[in-house]
Amino acid sequence: MNTTVANEQVSPAPRIAARPARDIATGALEAMARVSAWLGGLFLLATALLVAAQILARLAGAQIPSADDVTAWFLAGSVLLALPYALRQGSHIRVTLLLHMLPAGLRRFCEVLSNVAALILAGWAAWHCTGFVQDSFLNNEVSQGIVALPMWIPQLSMPVGLWGLFAMLAGRLAALLSGSPWPEEDHG
């Protein structure tokens, strides 16, 4: 016995467009890169504003307490927090002259090898910086300047920036291994 109706058309269930995990990860890396760029830029702007304010204060015969310490922390934060964005944009210093002269297979091997080495170094540095900040927090370390600021606060930019770099290097390695394009390839 056949239970199908001859002229009846069954409409398929609506399909929900699923984004591949790689697209989601790439989007997350892009978002992290943009946030890191903004944070790095804000810290650089804060550095410039604090230096300018300190100059004006000194001209007026005053001083901003611990301005030198805070300026150094802001400057370090601007560099460290912008590391993921710099890698995403291909702004880190790389020796590409030699890479471009290598055959494609050897070039890819060298790219993967250097990325793995950078990933290991970034992970090692991020891990130890995280422990360093944790020790500062647990031991209630404060700055030696006029303003006694808990040291874990300015130190936090180290592990945040380095873990961001680690994540970006992991994304770059995944792109290299899968043959997917990476934005820095457009820069040179």
Q: What confidence tens digit (pLDDT) does each residue in 111-142 have?
A: 999 999 999 999 999 999 999 999 999 999 99
DSSP string, the chain: -----TT--PPPPPPP-PPPHHHHHHHHHHHHHHHHHHHHHHHHHHHHHHHHHHHHHHHTT---TTHHHHHHHHHHHHHHHTHHHHHHTT-S---HHHHHHS-HHHHHHHHHHHHHHHHHHHHHHHHHHHHHHHHHHHTT-B-SSSS--BTHHHHTHHHHHHHHHHHHHHHHHHHHHHT---GGGGG-
d(CA 36, CA 84): 7
The phi and psi torsions of 150 (rounded to 5 degrees) equal -60, 130
Cβ distance 187 to 89 under 8 Å? yes
Question: What is the distance between the alpha carbons of residues 143 and 151, in angstroms, rounded to a whole number?
Answer: 6
61: left (phi over 0), alpha (psi -120 to 50) or beta: left
Q: In which band, very low, low, confident or very high, does the pLDDT at 157 lie, cut at 50, 70 and 90? A: very high
Q: In whole numbers, what is the pLDDT of the chain averaged over residues? A: 87
Query: Mean pLDDT, to the nearest integer, of 45-67?
Result: 95
The CA angle 111-40-94, to the nearest 5 degrees, is 20
Q: Do 156 and 133 form a contact (C-beta atoms < 8 A)? A: yes
Other beta carbons within 10 angstroms of residue 23's beta carbon come to: 10
* pLDDT, tens only, 158-188: 999 999 999 999 999 999 998 887 776 554 4
Nearest to 154 by CA among 50, 54, 62, 52: 50
Q: What is the pLDDT of residue 104?
A: 87
Average pLDDT over residues 26-35: 91
Q: Taking 80 as the threshold, does the pLDDT of residue 8 lie above it?
A: no
